[in-house]
Amino acid sequence: MMVQIQHNVSLKPFNTFGIEVQTSAFTSIKTVSDLRELIHAGTLQSSHMFLGGGSNVLFTKDFNGLVIKNECKGIYITKEDNRHIWITAGSGEVWHDLVMFTVTRGLGGIENMSLIPGTVGAAPMQNIGAYGVELTNVFEQLTAIDLLTGEEVLFNHEMCAFGYRESVFKHQLKGKYFIADVTLRLSKYPELQINYGAIKQVLAERGIVEPTIKDISDAVIYIRQSKLPNPVVLGNAGSFFKNPEIAVEQYDELKQLYPTIPGYPTTPNKIKVPAGWLIEQCGWKGKIVGHTGAHKDQALVLVNYGGASGNEILALSKEIQQSILAKFNIAISPEVNII
Ligand code: EPU
C-alpha cells in the first residue's frame, strides 16, 4: 500500500466548526491512483467519508470508519476560443485559490463567488453560490470516479441536475462517486453581475463606475469579511440553513403581518425568504446559548464560541427551526451536512 492510514485521529483541524471529534481511521489522497488503490483494496466497502475543506459539516459524534481527505490538486487551462477559456481544477483545490487564478487573469464568471470556503469538489456537489451567481452558471463538466469499480465517468451539465444548493450527488448518486476534477467555462468578455445591492453599494463607495473583474472580487471579499465570521477565529460553517421557498399566498399573508419581510420570486408561484431574516425576527441574532449562538452580523451563521459540541449546535439549530415554524409556519432545513 502506498496510501498510509492513521488511527484515532482528531478531526478538529479538519472541520471549520472546530468540533473536537475523533475518527477511527484517516488518510489523504493526492491522486485518482491513490483513490483506486483504496477501491481495489476493498477499503471503501466499510464505513468511510470524503472530506474536502470541512467547511460544510457538523460532526455530532466520533466517526467510526475511514475519513479520506481530498488533496487532489492542480489548475489547468484546458481549452480556449475567441470568447472563452476552459479551466479544469482538481477537486481538492481550495475554491478561493481557483477564483484568484481566474481573477488575476481577467477571466470572468466566478468573481462573485470569491472567498466561499471549501474545495473545488464540493462546489458542484451543492451548487455553491453567492451574490447573484451560482456554479451552474459556469459549469462545463466534471470527472467522477465510480467508487465500486474505479472507472472514470464524465458528467455534463444536465447530468448534474443542479438546483438551489442541490445536485444529483446529494440525492440519487449520493455516496456513489468521487468528484476528481471540475471544468468551468470562463469568459474573456464577461457580463458582470453587479445587481446585488451590497456589491453596488461598495462599488459606489469606492467611486468605481466601470468595474473590472478584480473590483468585483475585491468588493465581494470586503462584504464577506465585514459580515461573515472568519472560521479561523470563530468556528462556523457559513450559512447553517438554506433559504426556504414558500408559496406566494403564504408570503402575501405574512407581508400583511410583517411588512418588512424580504422575498425573492424564484418560480411564478414561489418566493424565497432569507432564513437570516426569519432567525433574526425570532430573537436569535447575536444571542449566545452555552458555547454557541447565531452570529451578531449574520443570523444564518451558527458559531462555535469555543468548546461547543456538535450536539450543542445541533440542539440550537432545532430550537431555531421550531421557533420559526411556530412564528411563521415556515420549515427551514440545514444546509450543512450533519454527521
Ligand atoms: N438578513 C437579516 N438578518 C440577518 C441576515 C440576513 O435580516 O441576520 C436579511 C438581509 O437583510 C437581506 C437578506 O436577509 O435582506 C439576505 O441576506 P444576505 O445577503 O446576507 O444573504 P443570505 O440569503 O442570508 C445567501 C447565501 C450565502 C451567500 C449570500 C450572498 C444561502 C443559504 N446563503 O445568504 O451563502 O454568501 O447569500 O449571496 O443561500 C453559504 O451558503 O454558506 C453562504 C454563506
Nine cell digits for residue 325: 415554524
Q: Which of 162, 178, 186, 20 is nearest to 112 (CA)?
A: 186
The per-residue pLDDT for range 303-339, each reduced to its tens digit, is 999 999 999 999 999 999 999 999 999 999 999 999 9
Q: What integer pLDDT is reported at residue 327 of this predicted model? A: 98
Which mutation among 125, 200, 228, 239 tests ligand 1's pocket best, with the greatest number of atoms within 8 A of CB? Answer: 239
Give the active site residue among 111, 134, 245, 335.
335
Q: Which amino acid is at 238?
A: G
Identify any residues that bridge with 264 across adjacent strands, giving them in sequence order: 272
pLDDT less than 70: residues of the chain: 1
Q: Give backbone dihedrals phi and psi of 264, rounded to 5 degrees, phi first.
A: -125, 120
**Contact at 8 Å (CB) between 302 and 311?**
no
Q: What integer pLDDT is reported at residue 56 of this predicted model? A: 94
The per-residue pLDDT for range 320-329, each reduced to its tens digit, is 999 999 999 9
Task: Say how far apart CA 49 and CA 15 lie, in whole Å.
Answer: 13
Could you tell me how far CA 38 lies from the centroid of its own chain? 26
As for ligand 1, residues whose beta carbon falls within 6 Å of it are: 130-131, 238-239, 242-243, 262, 274, 276-277, 280, 285, 298-300, 335
> End-to-end distance of the chain based on CA atoms, in angstroms?
29
Which mutation among 271, 277, 278 tests ligand 1's pocket best, with the greatest number of atoms within 8 A of CB? Answer: 277
Atom of ligand 1 nearest to the CA of 242: 32
Q: What integer pLDDT is reported at residue 196 of this predicted model? A: 87
CB atoms within 10 A of CB 337: 15
Nine cell digits for residue 218: 475585491
Nine cell digits for residue 332: 427551514
Question: DSSP states of 74-143 as a string?
Answer: -EEEEEE-SSEEEEEEETTSBHHHHHHHHHHTT-BSSGGGTT--SBTTHHHHTT-EETTEEGGGTEEEEE
What separation in angstroms does the CA of 50 have from each of 4, 40, 124, 339?
15, 17, 15, 12
Residue with cell 399566498: 249
Q: What integer pLDDT is reported at residue 67 of this predicted model? A: 98
What are the structural domains of the chain? 6-70 (3.30.43.10), 75-187 (3.30.465.10), 235-338 (3.90.78.10)
Known catalytic residue at 335? yes
Q: What is the DSSP letter of 284?
A: -
Q: What integer pLDDT is reported at residue 1 of this predicted model? A: 54
Q: What is the H or E stretch that residue 325 is in?
A: helix 310-328
- Beta-carbon contacts of 17 under 8 Å, excluding residues fewer than 6 positions away, are 57, 58, 59, 231, 235, 236, 237, 304, 308, 310, 313
Nine cell digits for residue 273: 425568504
> Ligand 1 atom 24: the closest Cα is on which residue?
276
Q: What is the DSSP letter of 44?
A: G
Task: Say how far apart CA 200 and CA 131 lie, in whole Å.
Answer: 11
Task: Say how far apart CA 91 and CA 153 lie, in whole Å.
Answer: 15
